[in-house]
Amino acid sequence: MDKQTINQLQKIVGPDQLTTTTEELLCYSYDGTAREYLPEAVAFPGSTAEVSAIMRLASQVLLPVVVRGAGSGMTGGALPLKGGLVMAMSRMHKIIEIDTDNHVAVVEPGVITGQFQDEVRRLGLYYPPDPASLKFCTLGGNIAECAGGPSAVKYGVTRDYVLGLEAVLPDGRIINTGVRTAKGVVGYDLTRLLTGSEGTLAIITKIILKLLPMPTNRATFLVVSNSIKQATALVSRILSQHTPCTLEYMDRTALKIVESELPFALPPAAESLLIIEVDGNQETVTSQAKNLHIFLKNEPDLLSVRQAQDEAERAALWSARRAISPSAFKLKPHKISEDVVVPRSKIAELVTFTETLAAEQQTTIFTFGHAGDGNIHVNIMLDKNNSEELARGLIAKKKLFTQVLNLGGTLSGEHGIGITKSEYLAMELDENSLELMKGLKNLFDPLNILNPGKIFPPDQTSQKNI
C-alpha cells in the first residue's frame, strides 16, 4: 500500500483511526482458524459515510479490503488473505433502536451478540441466535456467516432474524435492503443474499433485526448414556413429540475435555451427554418438562436423567459446553474443526463413521454439537508441524465430507466456507450453481477487492485476482 493511499485513508477516518504499525497489524492478522495473514493497514471507520469513502478509494487503487468483526470466525472469513486493508467495525457498535411495540431492533454491525441479547432481555425481548462465541462475536460477523447456535433447533439461525440491512457495495454505493416489518416481498431478496455471503458481496453497516418475547422460564435436562448410538438415536424420537429449545450432545472425548468444569460427576461408563432444554412461560415449561421427564424415564438403559437444579448449575453446564472448542487444544496443538450437518436420523451413522475413520487414520476425532438439527462439530486433532499427522488429518477431512454428502448432508451448518473449505466446495455444489455464484460475486464486486480469495477455490475462479 503506497503512502498516498495511506494518507487518503487517514483523511477519511482521521489519523487516530488508521494503523500500520506491525504490533497492531498482528492483532488483526488471525482469527478462530489460528491461521495468520498480515494486513498492510487497519482502519476503524466510524460511520457508513466513512465506509463508503474507503470503498470508493479502494476501487480506484484496487486495494483489497477485508471486514472484521471480532475475528472469531472458524473458516477464515476475516483473514486478509491478499494483504491490503482490514476494516475493523469495532467503532460502529451502537444499538440504535429497540422498538418494543414491534419487536424490532436496529443496530450497527460491531455490537457484541451477547451484549445485545442482554440489552433486549432487559426489555422482555429475546434475540435467539447464540453461537458459542456470543460473549465476544459481533452481530455483523454473525450475519456475514449466518451464525447458528444451540437455540437453532427451535428458533432457527441468524438468517431468520434479519429483516433488513444497510450495506456498502465494493464501489462505495450504499444500499438499503429489506424491511422493518415482519413481512416483505418487494423485489429480489438482497437481505438473505447478503446474509451468509461471508463479507464478499457488500459491507454491512446497519442491521434491522426481528425480536421475540423473552421466554420467562426454562428447564434443563442432562441425559447420560453409555452408548453414543443410543443417545443420538433418541434425538429424532424426542423431536417427534417435544419441542426443545436446545438439543445438544457431547461424545466421550468432549466430556473428558471439560469434565472438570461440569457441575456434576459423570458415571464412569458415560459415553455421551445430551443436554435438552425446554422454554416458555411457567405453565408451559412445567407441562413440557413433565412430559419430557416421563419420556426420558421410560427410556431403558440410560445411565442417568437429571434436571438442572438452578440457574447456577445451568450456567456452569453451558460454560463447560462453550469451552469444548478452545479446550480441545489440551489434546493436540491443532485441530481440523468442521461443522458438518446430516439429517438428524443419520447422526448415529456419522458418529460410527468418525470412529472408524479415527482408527483408520490413527488420529483422535471427537464430536459434539447441535444434535437437534444434525449440525455436528467434528474435530480432527493433530500437530500441524508433524507433516505425516497433518496429511492423515486432511485425508480424514476429505473422507468425512464424502460421507456427509452421501448421508444427504452439507459441509457447513454455520461456519461458512471461507478458506478452510473452499477447495471442497465443488464436492457439494453443482457446476451450474457454482458458476452462478461466481456471477453473483462478479456482479457485486467486479474488481474483486472485497474479501478476495474467499469461498471460491483459487484455481477455479475466472475473476481477476489482485
How crowded is the C-beta side of 418, counted as CA atoms within 13 Å? 29
Q: What stretches of 259-310 show up as alpha helix (H) in DSSP?
A: 282-297
428 binds its own copies (CB under 8 A): yes
Shortest CB 255 distance to its own copies, Å: 24
**Binding-site member from 4, 21, 185, 298 for its own copies (CB under 8 A):** 185
Shortest CB 129 distance to its own copies, Å: 12
DSSP label at 266? Answer: P
401-426: buried (b, 16+ CB within 10 Å) or exposed (e) per residue?
bebbbebebebbbbbbbbbbbbebbe
343 binds its own copies (CB under 8 A): yes
Shortest CB 343 distance to its own copies, Å: 4
By CB under 8 A, how many residues form the interface with its own copies? 89
Residues 6+ apart with CB under 8 A from 210: 103, 104, 160, 161, 162, 163, 182
Stretch 15-44 residues interacting with its own copies (CB under 8 A): none
* Residue with the three cell numbers 457431547: 250
Site string for its own copies, 349-378 (x = CB under 8 A): ---------------------x-xxxx---
Contact region for its own copies (CB under 8 A) — 28-36, 330-338, 391-399, 423-431? 423-431
322 binds its own copies (CB under 8 A): no
402 binds its own copies (CB under 8 A): no
**Binding-site member from 260, 385, 387, 432 for its own copies (CB under 8 A):** 432
333 binds its own copies (CB under 8 A): no
Shortest CB 234 distance to its own copies, Å: 12
**DSSP track, 4-28:** HHHHHHHHHH-GGGEE--HHHHHHT
Stretch 434-463 residues interacting with its own copies (CB under 8 A): 434, 436-437, 439-441, 443-444, 455
Contact region for its own copies (CB under 8 A) — 20-28, 42-50, 180-188, 386-394? 180-188
| Angle CA 39–53–177, to nearest 5 | 100
Asked if residues 209 and 125 have their Cβ atoms less than 8 Å apart, the reply is no
Residues 6+ apart with CB under 8 A from 459: none
Burial class (CB in 10 A: 0-12, 13-18, 19+), 178: buried
Q: Which of residues 188 and 310 has its CB atom nearest to its own copies in the complex?
A: 188
Site string for its own copies, 132-161 (x = CB under 8 A): -------------xx-x---xx--xx-xx-
Q: Which of residues 29 and 422 has its CB atom nearest to its own copies in the complex?
A: 422
Shortest CB 277 distance to its own copies, Å: 16
**Binding-site member from 415, 445, 450, 461 for its own copies (CB under 8 A):** 415
49 binds its own copies (CB under 8 A): no
411 binds its own copies (CB under 8 A): yes
Asked if residues 163 and 127 have their Cβ atoms less than 8 Å apart, the reply is no
For residue 302 the three cell numbers come to 440410560
Shortest CB 166 distance to its own copies, Å: 10
Q: Which of residues 188 and 300 has its CB atom nearest to its own copies in the complex?
A: 188
Contact region for its own copies (CB under 8 A) — 39-47, 78-86, 239-247, 308-316? 239-247
Asked if residues 413 and 375 have their Cβ atoms less than 8 Å apart, the reply is yes
Q: Which of residues 5 and 138 has its CB atom nearest to its own copies in the complex?
A: 138
307 binds its own copies (CB under 8 A): no
Site string for its own copies, 261-300 (x = CB under 8 A): -------------------xx-xx--xx--x---------
Query: Which residues pair with residue 338 across a beta bridge?
Result: 378
CA dihedral 204, 208, 213, 215 (to 10 degrees): 0
192 binds its own copies (CB under 8 A): yes
Burial class (CB in 10 A: 0-12, 13-18, 19+), 263: middle
Q: Which of residues 85 and 104 has its CB atom nearest to its own copies in the complex?
A: 104
Q: Is the dihedral of CA 70, 397, 192, 120 positive or negative?
A: negative
* Residue with the three cell numbers 436423567: 305
Shortest CB 4 distance to its own copies, Å: 28
**DSSP track, 100-122:** TTTTEEEE-TTSBHHHHHHHHHH
Shortest CB 103 distance to its own copies, Å: 7
Asked if residues 336 and 263 have their Cβ atoms less than 8 Å apart, the reply is no
201 binds its own copies (CB under 8 A): yes
Asked if residues 182 and 192 have their Cβ atoms less than 8 Å apart, the reply is no
**Binding-site member from 33, 117, 197, 451 for its own copies (CB under 8 A):** 197
57 binds its own copies (CB under 8 A): no
The distance of Cα 90 from the centroid of its chain, to the nearest Å, equals 19
Site string for its own copies, 104-123 (x = CB under 8 A): x-------------------
